Structure 1
Amino acid sequence: MYIRGEHNPPHFHALYAEYEAQLNIQTLEVIEGKLPRRALAMVLEWAAEHRTELMEDWNLCQAKQLPNPIKPLE
């Protein structure tokens, strides 16, 4: 997530090598961009486990505050 200039719907950015995608936090749909299938599956698994934390971080970013770290996929 970026602190400045983010737009609705609430989303996060996932980066993998030269790929980037923006995913809607509430629906976990890809809004923009793309990731390889395996990377996308891992991102979706991680995001499903941390959806509440992602929304909390989204709200912090909207308030121009730093987001909290979220554990990686184990």
Structure 2
Amino acid sequence: MSPTIHRINKIKISLNENDHNPPHVHVVSPDFIVLINIRTCEVFKGQARPAQINEALTWVKENQEWLLQEWEKRGK
């Protein structure tokens, strides 16, 4: 299980140690699992309706620099 770095209601956002490229976060809810590319702020794996994922996308955009630093620290 990935360590949760942020929560938005029932949505968990996490970064894995030594994960594959591209730099990304895992966004998990009871209804979906998606991977969001940190650099492009786009979903590249999985599916969710825009209404379900917009808050997570906004958070990733607002924290993009920090997330990329964390990605580097965690092994990639």
When the two structures are superposed, what TM-score results if normalisation uses the length of structure 2?
Answer: 0.72
Distance 1:61 1:22 in 2: 17
Structure 2 portions without partners, runs of 5+: 1-14
Task: Tell me which residue corresponds to 1:59.
Answer: 72
Aligned partners of 2:73, 2:33: CA distance in 1, in Å?
Answer: 22
What is the deviation of 1:46? 0.6
Q: 2:36: which partner in 1?
A: 23
Give SS of 1:21's match.
strand
Match of 2:52 in 1: 39
Which structure has more RCO (C-alpha within 8 Å, separation ≥ 6)?
1
**Aligned residue for 1:10?**
23
Give the length in aligned residue pairs.
Answer: 62
Structure 1 or 2, whichever has the larger Rg, is 1
TM-score, normalised with respect to structure 1: 0.74
Displacement of 1:38 after TM fit?
Answer: 1.6
* Identity score, percent: 27
SS in 1 for 2:26: strand
Residue 57 (structure 1) shift: 1.0
Paired with 1:28 and 1:11, the residues of 2 have a C-alpha distance of 9
